[in-house]
Amino acid sequence: MQNASLRPMGIGRILDRSFHLYRKHFVTLTIIMLILYGPFYLLQHLLTYQETASTSSSILEQIRSGASMQDMFGSGSFMKNNQTPKDIGKTLLFVLVLVPIMILGLMPASVASVLHLVKASLFGEETPGVGELLRKSFRRFWPLAGSTFLDALIMFGIYIGLAIIIVIFAIVFAIGGNLSSSVGGFGGGAVALTIVFFVILGLGAIFTFSYFFIRWCYYLPFVAMGEESVGLGRSWKLTRKSFWRLFLMYFVLTLILYLFLFVIQLIIAAVLGLGLGAQLLQSLISILVMSLWFLPYAVSYFDLKVRNEGLGLESLIESTMQTSPTEPAEELEPFDTFEDLRPIDLDKKND
């Protein structure tokens, strides 16, 4: 039976309910994320990690020994300058095999699992176990992978288009700057104006990309629930008049989670350094909080369904009818003639 408490929610309510679901189903969500993303992160670090001197000890120990910032952070562990063919092969294997598996397979399956869990919770159904959630998710694997590939292809095209526009403006300004310097100099005010222009242009490009990303990103629930094969059109219709609310919700969520992960990574690096063990611990923490990225997405999807498609309205009407008085109203005697409809003269009646 549907939960009659389904109501449109604000940003705070969506995030609050998401964190509540995270605490309530922490074990189930963690096991799912570990099953799906644990092997991926392990292979990623084994393929791309390079041991260096700066990763052998903690940052606190290096500070006490007088190491410079260049010594501590200058040589990254992900890439190094003199790569061997073996290192290049590992990098290509990661980029060409593991990344597509994560984007087209692991990510849609994990989001679909969270969607089924949130649906059961919001509708008052019995919460499925880990195995049942994974079976429901992989049951629609190929439609999920295909629609995700199509969405990624569209977003990549938008990204390339925006990048081309920025490059064209940069070339135009560079040519204009050379001409100005050749005829009399390029003033500081013009340089400042150019910087401001490109900052505005960059923010505009980010906003444009975010707009199309949010408008199309809700294709996945329709595909996961078996309502659509692609779902991009349904997503565009569902998010109509809700962009700013969703944009602000994801902005707040990103600030919270990135700030938390940044602080945790600083603590781990300060205590354990940048070695393989520290990076695996950071990945483990990322997996533990990963479902917090997906829960607001799932909750906001059902909120959009309530707002735009009347989800839960039928159950609300049924519950309202069930709470109405069950006893029949007192029956009134029918009027015999139209004379009974005339007003009663109280004075004559008293006589």
Is residue 52 scored above 60 in pLDDT?
Answer: no
| pTM of the predicted model as reported, rounded to 2 decimal places | 0.78
* pLDDT mean over 321-341: 47
How wide is the angle at C-alpha 214 spanned by C-alphas 213 and 215, nearest 5°?
Answer: 95
| Percentage above 70 pLDDT, the chain | 73
276-309 and 107-122 are packed helices; what angle lies between their axes, rounded to 10 degrees?
Answer: 50
What pLDDT, on a 0 to 100 scale, did the predictor assign at position 176?
Answer: 66
pLDDT in tens, 228-264: 888 999 999 999 989 999 999 999 999 999 999 999 9
pLDDT category, 76, cuts 50, 70, 90? very low
What pLDDT, on a 0 to 100 scale, did the predictor assign at position 7?
Answer: 80
What pLDDT, on a 0 to 100 scale, did the predictor assign at position 338?
Answer: 40
Phi, psi of 346 (to 5 degrees): -65, -35
Distance of alpha carbon 286 from alpha carbon 291, whole angstroms: 9
What pLDDT, on a 0 to 100 scale, did the predictor assign at position 64?
Answer: 53
pLDDT in tens, 98-122: 899 999 999 999 999 999 999 999 8
pLDDT in tens, 155-214: 999 999 999 998 998 888 777 666 555 555 555 566 777 788 888 988 999 999 999 999
Name the nearest CA neighbour of 193 among 173, 171, 167, 164: 173
Helix (H, G, I), strand (E, B) or coil at 216: helix
**Left (φ > 0), alpha (ψ -120 to 50) or beta: where does 66 sit?**
left
What pLDDT, on a 0 to 100 scale, did the predictor assign at position 78?
Answer: 44
What pLDDT, on a 0 to 100 scale, did the predictor assign at position 71?
Answer: 52
Q: What share of the chain is helix, strand, coil (3-state, %, to 5)?
A: 75, 0, 25
